[in-house]
Amino acid sequence: MCPDRRAEGGRVARTRKVTVSTDADGHTAGWSETEQAPPVTPTLDSTAAAFFDVDNTMMQGASIYWFARGLAARNYFTTGDLARFAWQQARFRLLATEHAGDMSQAKEAALAFIEGWRVEDVERLAEEIFDELMAPRIWAGTRKLAQHHLDRGERVWLVSAAPVEIGRVLAARLGLTGAIGTVAEVVDGAYTGRLVGDLMHGPAKAEAVTQLGAIEGLDLTRCAAYSDSANDLPMLSTVGHPVAINPDAALLRQARQRGWDVRDFRTGRRAVKIAVPSTAAAGLVAGAVTAGLALHRRRRTP
């Protein structure tokens, strides 16, 4: 169980405070800081930071899978929808089918999922589901690494394909600085079903870290990044201190070749079990979960 570091009153502030930046090549990134007091440190180190992937790095399994589990428990869709979603996640992971068509489908799924949902409702659900299902699955070892950076006065950011508002909820619950995530267009407090830029995935994570570093005055050679997946090699290669956490086979090979630090908090059967609801699809919501939510949205709003 991770430490209970909630914002005052037990809720993340509802004010949408998302910074959006587009670089010269048209790449868009969004980041949002949490609404909590900064960690107490003798001196804030303003030029160093740490960036943590979420799925299978900060927590066991895919955050969107557990979010879907929580929604299923609230009757937003059926257990059959959840099973099909888990299968598709496993297919992406085991067959490594992250080609252009797959990412296009993931983006379409994201659009279908968020259209019409209010930001405050998504954040409320994310808070509840984190406490119920995600908190017990935070890797204690990874959480300690994040705390080590905080104790040194460094900022710590989550980097996720989820909407940046959901990432901010997770960061607030973990007592971190903030989150980098996918930017979903919001009008009058509700998602329009359109994305601003692309999914926060693969090279987009490296671009976002670089953009944030430039704006915040970070020295990326002094920064650290943590991930479990070879999909995040661009982000890991952007910083001076890359670390492979619970690495997949491809990342483990690269880490060994490049002399990167490797930390593995999995053991035996436990590692096999958590591999199924994984992160490789990198969509905000993919496959059957989206279909179930879209169908349910016609009958009910969150």
**Among candidate residues 85, 160, 170, the one with its CA nearest the CA of residue 135:** 170
CA atoms within a 13 Å half-sphere pointing along the CA-CB vector of 63: 30
The contacts of residue 55 (CB under 8 Å, 6+ apart) are 61, 62, 63, 64, 160, 228, 278, 279
Q: What distance in Å separates the CA atoms of residue 161 and residue 143, rounded to the nearest whole number?
A: 20
Active site residue 53: yes
Rg (CA), the chain: 18
From the list 55, 102, 232, 248, the catalytic residue is 55
Is there a contact between 264 and 246 (Cβ–Cβ < 8 Å)? yes
The gap between the terminal CA atoms of the chain, to the nearest Å, is 27
Spatial distance between the Cα atoms of 246 and 184, rounded to a whole number of angstroms = 29
- Asked if 178 and 157 touch (Cβ cutoff 8 Å), the reply is yes
**Contacts for 222 with CB less than 8 Å, ≥ 6 apart:** 47, 48, 240, 241
Cα–Cα separations (whole angstroms), residue 126 to 28, 71, 151, 215: 24, 9, 27, 28
Is 228 labeled as catalytic in the residue annotation? no
One of 45, 53, 81, 232 is an active-site residue; which one? 53
Distance CA 68, CA 77 (A): 9
Cα–Cα distances in angstroms (integers) from residue 290 to residues 64, 68, 104, 160, 260, in the given order: 11, 9, 14, 18, 37
Q: Residue 190's CB: how many other CB atoms inside 10 A?
A: 18
Task: Give the catalytic positions in this structure.
Answer: 53, 55
